[in-house]
Amino acid sequence: MTAALHAGRLLARRYRLLDQIGAGGMSVIWRARDEVLDRVVALKVLAPSLAADARFRDMVREEARAAAQLVHPHVTSVHDYGETVAPDGATTSFVVMELLSGEELKLRLTEGPLPWAEAVQVGAQVADALAAAHRLGIVHRDITPANVMMTGVGVKVLDFGIATRIGAPDEDEDGGTFGTPAYVAPERLDGAPAQPATDVYSLGVLLHEALTGRVPYPADTWEQLSDALTSGPPPTLAGLPELPPAVARICLRSLARDPADRPTARQVATVLRAHLLPADTTPVPPPPRPPATPVPAAGGEGAAGPGGGAAVPADAGPDRRRRPLLLIAAVLAVGVALTVAALLPEQRATPRTQPTAGPAPTASSGPTVTESSRPAAAPSAPGSTGSPPAGPGTLMEAANRVDGLIGAGLTSGEIRADVGLDLRNELHNLTATVGSGRNDLAPPVARLREKVTVRRGEGGISQAYAERLDAAIAELGAARV
């Protein structure tokens, strides 16, 4: 049976095996050519020693079904599942996936921990992928560095081989626990049903390892893990003084022993993304008069910026020479607030923000505001008259209007949930790309408009709403960078 898998063999009269590029305990990965669509793909073939067992074939098929539901930029795309029967009756089961070019995070970490900013970026993208899976009721159950591929377009989460539905029994038929011990949540040792919090724990372990080069509780067996959880010291990130405190807190919260004390994957992604935002260099025109009340900066500090002082009305006090400095402080604070609002649609907390679609708000996430009557309106800056800006305005203002339109479309049912997620990710990538210094808007705007067209053709966006989105994105292309 092993010899039957060789370069040149054709599976399912379609997939020509080219060369073996990887192997694991349950499967062999082949590079193959799809001779129908004329493209190179990856084939994950069930190991011959397991192929005769219908349980393992079912597991491979369920992996394909789970991953195929996830249309997400940080999840490996699954194209097909197939089975082929040899003349001797042996069945070969395989999953057809996109062929990735990159490096496993596991291999990267053999060189030591990542710079904290890179580790945070990896964690945010994995958290985004998990949040998408959890919304569909899927728990991955095996988030480890070996299942995260670092590619030129960001990380990709691999291997949904032991994924299951939320609430499903977490043990196999023999009462054993699936997964890699050092990354398994404590409650899984007790056979608790599968739940999103177990993935969040694994995410916390992965982030801790990316930041420090080590897992919080080293273990190669379930017995070692149990002992480490019982007697090992609590994890800490105290040795990383340059790490933002909010990142350290969200990582350690993810490692909480009690699943109820852990944040959601979406909350982890939101906090981590907040520390990936480029510095705001977009010029913001000053309002006619500075606000007479303090303007909150991103993160809840005073409007005066890093110094932490509260804003003061420009006409307060006899020394009018101080007015330009106070005005600059207020303008910078408004610019930072607008930037965060545009790039972090999940973390809005005031009525001036745009509508958003997603999980129901929790006690820590603040109220969600909808505004279906004006879905494309941008939030008013403090001190403004509330009238819409003339022209597309700055990049962040235009991006915020597009995001608000997406959110309103999700609320009204004009945009399907997975499509809204896809568009928001593309919009976030666009603003991040431009904010990093690559100021040519034309290519990413063209990609976003093309995505709207494709999604409309798939039925994921209504015709009328697609036209509104396209117009808003066209305005984005004309915005000031």
Angle at CA 123, nearest 5°, toward 217 and 298? Answer: 120
Sign of the CA dihedral running 217, 218, 222, 223? negative
Q: Assess contact for 349 and 363: CB atoms under 8 A.
A: no
Alpha-carbon distance 248 to 162, whole Å? 29
Alpha-carbon distance 369 to 375, whole Å? 11
106 annotated as belonging to a binding site for a ligand: no
Sign of the CA dihedral running 276, 277, 279, 281? positive
Sign of the CA dihedral running 225, 226, 231, 234? positive
Angle at CA 165, nearest 5°, toward 162 and 166? Answer: 120
Q: What is the DSSP string of 175-207?
A: S-B-S-GGGS-GGGGGTPPP-HHHHHHHHHHHH
Tokens encoding 400 = 């915020």
Q: Assess contact for 297 and 305: CB atoms under 8 A.
A: yes
What is the three-class DSSP state of 263? Answer: coil
Active site residue 142: yes
Alpha-carbon distance 434 to 438, whole Å? 5
Q: Which of 142, 159, 403, 422 is catalytic?
A: 142
Q: What is the DSSP string of 207-247?
A: HHHHHHSS-SS--SSHHHHHHHHHHSPPP--TT-TTS-HHH
What is the three-class DSSP state of 22? Answer: strand
Q: Assess contact for 209 and 148: CB atoms under 8 A.
A: no
**Bridge partner residues of 151 (DSSP):** 102, 154
Q: Which residues are annotated as a binding site for ATP?
A: 44
Q: Which residues are annotated as a binding site?
A: 44
Catalytic site positions: 142
